[in-house]
Amino acid sequence: MRAYVLTGYGGPASMQLRDIEAPVPGRGEVLIRVHAAGLNPLDFKTREGKLKLIRRYPLPIAGGNELSGVIESLGPGATRFQPGDRVFTRVDKARLGAFAEVATVEESLVAKMPEGLDFETAAAVPLAALTALQALRDELRLSPGQHVFISAGAGGVGTYAIQIAKWLGANVTTTASPKGEALVKRLGADRVVDYTKEKFEEVLRDYDGAFDLVGGETLENTFRIVKPGATVVSVAGMPEPTTARKDLQAGPILAALFWFASRRLRKAASRHGARYRYLFMHPSGTELTELASLIDQKKLEPIVDKVFSFDEIGEAFAYLEAGHAKGKIVIRLHGG
């Protein structure tokens, strides 16, 4: 089968389209004929080797973290799906494999696609939408009437985060360029700060929580705009000890490394009376089923910026890394 394979760590040349042996589903797994796969910053960060401290993959390995497709066959003991089911999934972090013509996935990580979506749109959902749901509902514990700040609302995770925060009853403020302003307003943002004209940290105050999607100076400035005791969740900053224990189920050595690496951010949060949390989302077929229901009810709209063919996946990565996409970038592997 054809796959986009990670052969080493580094720049774009570290991943190549090549033929590899097709996987066979093991116990409790399903074999999925992949129709489309979503791209995420996680994909090029993995290629660059930025996650080697957390997970070292046996190279070469087919890359990719999320997909949509059709169940082709079942492994021993797999009972939740039938061949022909249209499904989507955030694949196992330890195995990857979404950038391939077929993929094997543990059935507990898989869910049936929303009824009204095509494969390309469905492939744009799993990783970004699960990240937003887990950050806003499980970590920030948003409740009706609270005010939340979401940076970079027009991006892949941001477009879901705005909508999920509104579904949870929150009042949403986000940042966007003039090009993205109309989109984030349509998705439900109550206030939009044009970051090309204003510094959000100078005009915002007293937020009940924040979801950082940018990192760096933006993250550090976010601590300044939340109430004392509020939490700032980031997927773009530096992992901290809770990340190791809760998200990665790792031992004290990795927790200690994260404690040291995140000390500057934790001190910055502490100066403003805030709590800092870095989130590594976890795959979940159950939560994907919940998100599919929201999509079917028209309460959640996936936003796809551009679809590339499998042969154009290198160009798709370049487009992703340029950082200007509004919504998600998707690869089409199989028509129909």
Taking the complete model, does pTM exceed 0.85, yes or no?
yes
Q: Which residue has the tokens 């890359």?
A: 63
What pLDDT sits at residue 335? 65
Residue 250 and residue 93: Cα distance in Å, rounded?
14
Tokens of 335: 């028509």
Residue 31 and residue 37: Cα distance in Å, rounded?
15
The pLDDT-based confidence of 91 (bands split at 50, 70, 90) is very high
> What are the tens digits of pLDDT across the range 313-333?
999 999 999 988 999 999 999
Tokens of 17: 């389209």
What pLDDT sits at residue 113? 98
Neighbouring-strand partners of residue 37: 67, 331
Mean pLDDT for 44-51 is: 94
DSSP 172: E
Q: Are 72 and 31 a contacting pair, CB within 8 Å?
A: yes
The pLDDT-based confidence of 170 (bands split at 50, 70, 90) is very high
Which of 59, 112, 118 is CA-nearest to residue 86?
112
> What are the tens digits of pLDDT across the range 4-38?
999 999 999 999 999 999 999 999 999 999 999 99
> Is residue 225's pLDDT more than 70?
yes
The pLDDT-based confidence of 54 (bands split at 50, 70, 90) is confident
What pLDDT sits at residue 53? 83
Q: Are 154 and 297 a contacting pair, CB within 8 Å?
A: no
Residue 305 and residue 100: Cα distance in Å, rounded?
21
b (16+ CB within 10 A) / e for 243-268 = bbeebbebeeebbebbbeebeebbeb
Q: Are 150 and 174 a contacting pair, CB within 8 Å?
A: yes
> Is residue 127's pLDDT more than 70?
yes
The sign one gets for the Cα dihedral 243, 175, 156, 8 is negative
Mean pLDDT for 110-137 is: 98
> Is residue 336's pLDDT more than 70?
no
> What are the tens digits of pLDDT across the range 67-82?
999 999 999 999 999 9
Q: Are 331 and 124 a contacting pair, CB within 8 Å?
A: no
Residue 184 and residue 175: Cα distance in Å, rounded?
9
**DSSP result, 296-307:** HTTS----EEEE
> What are the tens digits of pLDDT across the range 226-269?
999 999 999 999 999 999 999 998 899 999 999 999 999 999 99
CA angle 156, 162, 163 (to 5 degrees): 100
What's the whole-number average pLDDT of the chain?
96
Look at strands 66-74 and 61-62 and give their pairing: unpaired
Residue 230 and residue 292: Cα distance in Å, rounded?
30
Mean pLDDT for 157-180 is: 97
What pLDDT sits at residue 324? 85
